Structure 1
Amino acid sequence: MSGHSKWANIKHKKTKEDARRGQVFTKLSRQITVAARNGGGDPEANFQLRLAIDKAKDANMPNESIDRAIRRGTGELGGEAYEQFTYEGYAPGGVAVLVDIMTDNRNRAAGDVRYLFSRHDGSLGEAGSVAWMFDVRGLVEVDRAGAPGLDEVMLLAADAGAEDVEEAEDRFVILTSPQELDAVRRALEDQGLRIRSAELTYRPRTTVELDEAGTRKVLKLIDALEENDDVQQVYTNLEIPDEILEKLEA
């Protein structure tokens, strides 16, 4: 996994998740609403909606909240109209940053994101300035507990149409083309593997390593962005070496 992904797993421990549960539900609700608006309210016929619902259930979002978000998206309930777009920029040390936005007020979101970049010694870029450094990939995380060994998981993933498998401490990370994400997820489930998550993500083509001080600066920017309600996801090409990661965990 990339350095930022490892850091996300560290900081999203249960105590912090509980403290921010309301904010998490707000973001997940927006994802469901937009997915239902764009592709309809049937998760079996709307892949993006199914992914959004799966993420919401993983976060223990109540079923009534999920249903309300779907109905807002299909027009059965009134609500805000959300836009989805991406900002691009640079964190300290030249680290590339993509910020996935979902908002009912573009001007507010633009002002907030610009302020956060400036406050943390970063800078916003023009459209296309850093997006070329990333590829869109499907990502399926499989729980390592109860799963077979790496070699067998690689064979199962390859048979399902996956492109690559990465090994992490407590899970396997399977990469797919965006088009094959749902098919791979379903095939692995059919093989009895426990799926932790399945989503589209941006993977950096090359990564950047900084010293501890520089890494901490970048992570402060990432944290500040992720705490904004309009920000859905933050992707970077920051790679954190294990020795620095251990200091950050301490």
Structure 2
Amino acid sequence: MPEPRTFRDEPVSFVRRSGRMSDAQERAFAELAPFYLLDVPRDVAFTSVHPEARLDQFSAYGRTAPLVVEIGSGQGHAIVSAASADAETDFLAVEVFRAGLARTMLDADRAGVRNLRLIEANAPEVLSTFLPEAAASQVWIFFPDPWHKKRHTKRRLVRPGFSQTAARALADGALLRLATDWEDYALQMREVLDEAPEFERAFEGEWAERFDGRVMTAFERKGIAKGREIRDLTYRRVPRV
């Protein structure tokens, strides 16, 4: 019988943030999490997902509908807005920042959003095992941690090998949308995905047009205020052979 793993195979692309929760955040987890937050079996860490766990979309949402997944949803501004505007689509927010999860649940409840679920988990594990193959009609990665120090860039989410992970989760013809305010990360994203046989560009020119479904957030405004240009990329999952 194989020995159980005691650590992850690859570095995670996030720093686990913790701290004292506000009363509102505590209320979100106590009162709203039973509806919004998916309870998943864990593997070797609290934010891991057991490799045999799978999303049952009908059980989670009470229906079968197109599924949009946002990786690193932060405080949920983009996905809550999108879910509120598109009741015919199901949305899944993937995040490890507990305060962000709480804010997302509070805003979703305030807006009456019922087609959104959240998972507190490491994104690559969600894409590589938890989502059924070809389950997602879109995957969004907006402003992932840039790990801008050279010695830390190996922790970036979009790096060699990521394209296969993302492609597994996406249906044929589905879209992978990305945005960042760090030029060198944008260039890395483009290089990784241009070289991926599973994807083709869904834009013309150097960069994609700004995605209309991505609401302007305080985080994006902060990057712009610091003089950083926002760069979008959009790729289409090519049909499986």
> Which structure is larger by alpha-carbon Rg, 1 or 2?
1
Shared fold per TM-score greater than 0.5: no
Structure having the larger proportion of residues in strand: 1
TM norm structure 1: 0.23
TM norm structure 2: 0.24
> Taking CA–CA contacts closer than 8 Å with sequence separation of 6 or more, which of the two structures ends up with the larger relative contact order?
1
Structure having the larger proportion of residues in helix: 1
